[in-house]
Amino acid sequence: MKPVNIGLLGLGTVGGGTVSVLKRNASEITRRGGREIKISAASARDISRARLCNTQGIRLTTDSFDIVNDPDIDIVVELIGGLSPAKELVLAALENGKHVVTANKALIALHGNEIFAKAREKGLMVAFEAAVAGGIPIIKAIREGLAGNTVEWLAGIINGTCNFILTEMRDKGRDFADVLSEAQALGYAEADPTFDVEGIDAAHKLTILASIAFGIPLQFDKVYVEGITGITAMDVNYAEALGYRIKLLGIARRAGNGIELRIHPTLIPERRLIANVDGVMNAVLVKGDAVGPTLYYGAGAGAEPTASSVVADIIDVVRTLTSDPENRVPHLAFQPGAIADMPILPISEVETAYYLRLSASDQPGVLADVTRILADLGISIEAILQKEPPPGESQLPVILLTHKVREHDMDQAIARIEALPTIGGSVKRIRMETLG
């Protein structure tokens, strides 16, 4: 049987890792896929550059469209990232009758609905395991392994840069800006780290996870996104003193009146396994009605961990090359006609518990005024931590942990607290999840 020819778009970190894994494990991959899988062509901006992977036997080109238009290519693997020309290349590959494998989370989150529609029209597959959580096979776990469950919620640490920063802040008492500089020096964060630290990268991934978990269209624009730039070493230390860890968490949950989709810093009880995922590692916790909570942990980025998912997708495509398109696993886990456009809740309608830090005058009655405001809005307090004021200052830090309350009510409470003459500055709010 003739080999399956792969056209690789991009020879960067993940592209190079994919070449290395495919070549090193060639015999094992052939045994699993049933056919020899061969990279016959690859594109890169500079094909004269020295590379860590062995490109011997691979036709190199600077023109990616040359690959998607090559009649001998069976599967196009898109690893260039970004939205353009990635979108145009993927759609051209599908138009030319080629299956597609991609690690591009932004492309899938923003244009996946259009891309999957084109793939269905052409009877082709688009595989995207590597788009979320690097080497962790979380797409396959939810889409296939948990197919017998109603997924109730999922929560994920799905950005290694933010997790590294928060881990360093906790373990070494360092400030955000200081750790961010180190993350950039180590290559964990880009020169412009906005996508990571403002939560946008994690929101792309959550969009995809929510769609396959709940059978809803990809809706990146409806995700509530809040990054970690406002988290201070003080908050990290106070959370630790109260038995919590702060993580940037992506949360997707079925609620009575819709779906919650949110990315934000979150206090998690330190006894939870996911609270102990440190450094650049990723983890996703999924709660199914039949199986209960399941945790998936591993490297969320890197050349070979991500290549592991890319190659697994290639093998999946090869296994189904001769199958009836109607009997393949659907792109978003549910049959296309069963995708339900359930409402996505605005953050104001979400119910969660809160960590509140306020700066209060060191005088009688201040705490009573604050608790009265909370009580008037039906917000009950779980714990209070009052610290001594810093030397030479008259304002003391007060930390409150609340029980679950609707965000709209908490907005009102914070506005009233901030209006008190005895409260200095703004109230710091961090949402809390028990993940029980």
How many CB atoms within 10 Å of residue 91? 17
Distance CA 51, CA 54 (A): 7
Please, are residues 126 and 113 in contact by the beta-carbon 8 Å criterion? no
199: phi > 0 → left, psi -120 to 50 → alpha, else beta; which?
left
Distance CA 159, CA 172 (A): 20
Distance CA 69, CA 326 (A): 26
What's the longest Cα–Cα distance across the chain?
84
Distance CA 96, CA 35 (A): 22
Q: Using DSSP bridges, classify how beta strands 37-43 and 59-61 pair: parallel, antiparallel or unpaired.
A: parallel
Which DSSP symbol is given to 422?
A: T
Please, are residues 238 and 232 in contact by the beta-carbon 8 Å criterion? no
Please, are residues 19 and 42 in contact by the beta-carbon 8 Å criterion? yes
Backbone φ and ψ for 86, nearest 5 degrees, come out as -55, -45
How many CB atoms within 10 Å of residue 105? 25
Q: Packing angle between helix 26-33 and helix 303-319, nearest 10 degrees?
A: 30
Catalytic-role residue among 205, 247, 287, 428:
205
DSSP string over 184-211? HHTTSS-SS-HHHHTSHHHHHHHHHHHH
Is 205 considered catalytic here?
yes
DSSP string over 270-301? TTSGGGG--TTEEEEEEEETTTEEEEEEEE-S
Active site residues: 205
